[in-house]
Every structure is written in C-alpha cells, then in structure tokens.
Amino acid sequence: MKKILFASTALVASAGFAAAEISFSGEAGIGVIYDGTDWAANHYTTLSVSMAGETDGGLSFGASFDITTGTTGGAVDASSAYIEGGFGKLSAGDIDNAVDATVGGLADVGYSGLGVDNLGETQKGTSGADFLYQGSFGDFSVAASAQLDGGSDWAIAAGYSMGDYKFAAGVEDAAGDTVYAISAGASFGDFGVNALFAKNSDTSAESYGIDATYAMGATSVTVAYGNDGTDEAFGLGIGYDLGGGASVNAGVAEVAGTTVADLGIIMTF
C-alpha cells in the first residue's frame, strides 16, 4: 500500500514539473564611464529568472526576479508574480505603475544610460504601485495600478496602436499630487521616433522629451532630448551589433550643463 502511494505521488510531481517552465537569461557589461570630471571602469552582471505555468483550466501564472552584481554593488530586485487569463493580467510585487507600463518612457543613449531620459521623465510614473492590472482589446490596451502597502497612490492609463503609430495617455496620484502624461510614437522602416510630455497639475511642474533612432544594418544611431522644466539634456548614442548577443555601445551627452560619456560592450545570454 505504501509503495502504491509513493508511486502515485511521484507521478503527480512529475506531471506538475512537466507543466511548468523555469528559464534563465542574462546580461553583462564591461566599459568605462566619464562623469564630467574623471573616467571610471564599470561592469555589471544580471541573471534573470522566470517561472511560468498553466492550470488545467488554461489560466497562466508565473513569477520572475533579477540578481544583479557589479561596480555599484549587488541586489535581488524586480521580484514579481502574475496570473493571466481572458480577463487580462494581474501582477504584484516590484512592478511598474500603470503609466510606466502603458505610456512608457524615452530612450537613453550610450552603454550605461547617460541620464538624458531621466530629465524628460521627471514628472512621469512617480506613483507607487504593488498591484498592476493590464488588459488588451484589439488595438487598445488599458492598465490600472495601486499601492496598497504603505500608501494610497494609484494610476490608470490607456494606449492605442494603429499600424506604425502608437499613442498613450495616463493619470496618476503620487503622494496626493495629480500627474498627467501622454506619449506618441511612430516607425518608418528603419527610423523610429517617440515623444513624451507630463505635467503635475498641483505644482504646474512639467517634463518632456523626444528620441529618434535610425538603424543601418548592424549599426544604430539614437539621439535624445529631455527637459525637466529647469534643466535640459541632449545626447547621441551609437551601437554596433557584433552578433552572438554582443554589441558595442557608446554615447556622449550634456546633462544639466555637465558633459558625460561612456563606452562599453553589452553581452546578452
């Protein structure tokens, strides 16, 4: 009797593992960064772990997290879990709010990201979130988020795609301030452009920016501009795909009056 019970338990466990999937991916970089005064060496490694499964009724579920080490230290972050079905997707954990997830942001330049996008995104996506709902209905997408642990922030957003064009808008409550954000983007063959504007209606503070990317075979060129209402930033980045998951990336930018630059190799696994 005990042998039969053991065999049955093993069969159920095997079936459970067969229905689930655990995958690993990674990224690493090595380069140098100029902060306006000195050059410094930089490196990082990130291991991303994803787990996914499906119930007998066709409901998908999963979880993921990142393990990062490097020049600036190490951390386990981006930990989240989700459940997904015909109703949409519900995520919890270290997640984007609805505005970040739908309206999106600006492209940065360089190997490490020189911060041009940060100025243009100052007013956008500032609300906290530990629960996020996302739904898609044809060309439309909607999202709603809330901070239930230690706060009362919330956000809602919607997006629409029409061929090579996309538009999105959202509103959020961040620590009592109401912030509105809109974005628009388009792609024309090898060329793409994206713009973002956000405004805090309580303080009248604004931030905005634009980026454009052009691909020429293995080479891509990105230009970006960001403004937080007080300071501005603009930069140029160049990337070259070496193949096999590796690329050389370099950038130069002026951020709030300081010239910064970087050069490095990014490796994906």
- 49 vs 151: which has the higher pLDDT: 49
Give the mean model confidence (pLDDT) for residues 255-264. 98
pLDDT at 221: 98
Measured CA to CA, the distance from residue 123 to residue 75 in angstroms comes to 26
Per the domain annotation, does 180 fall within a domain? yes
Tell me the pLDDT tens digit for each residue of 98-144: 999 999 999 999 999 999 999 999 999 999 999 999 999 999 999 99
Choice among 17-31, 53-67, 114-128, 180-194 with the minimum mean pLDDT: 17-31
What's at 3, amino acid-wise?
K
12 within 8 A of 19, measured Cβ to Cβ: no
Residue 201 has pLDDT above 70, yes or no: yes
Whether the pLDDT of residue 17 is over 70: the answer is no
Tell which residue, 115, 108, 244, 123, has the closest CA to residue 182.
Answer: 123
Neighbours of 92 (CB within 10 A): 17
What is the Cα–Cα distance from 110 to 34, expressed in whole angstroms?
11
Judge whether 264 lies within some domain.
yes
Assigned domain for 76 exists:
no
Residue 82 lies in a domain: no
Domains: count for the chain: 1
Domain assignment present for 186: yes
Residues 6+ apart with CB under 8 A from 86: none
Q: Which domain holds residue 131?
A: 21-43+89-268
Q: Model-level pTM?
A: 0.88
In a domain, 234, yes or no: yes
In a domain, 1, yes or no: no
pLDDT-based confidence at residue 18 (cuts at 50, 70, 90): very low
Tokens encoding 115: 């911060």
Mean pLDDT along residues 53-78: 94
The CATH number assigned to the domain holding 159 equals: 2.40.160.10
Q: Return the closest-CA partner of residue 168 out of 232, 99, 214, 235.
A: 99
Q: What is the pLDDT of residue 151?
A: 86
Question: Average pLDDT, whole number, for the chain?
Answer: 92
Asked, for residue 59, whether it belongs to a domain, the answer is no
Measured CA to CA, the distance from residue 31 to residue 261 in angstroms comes to 11
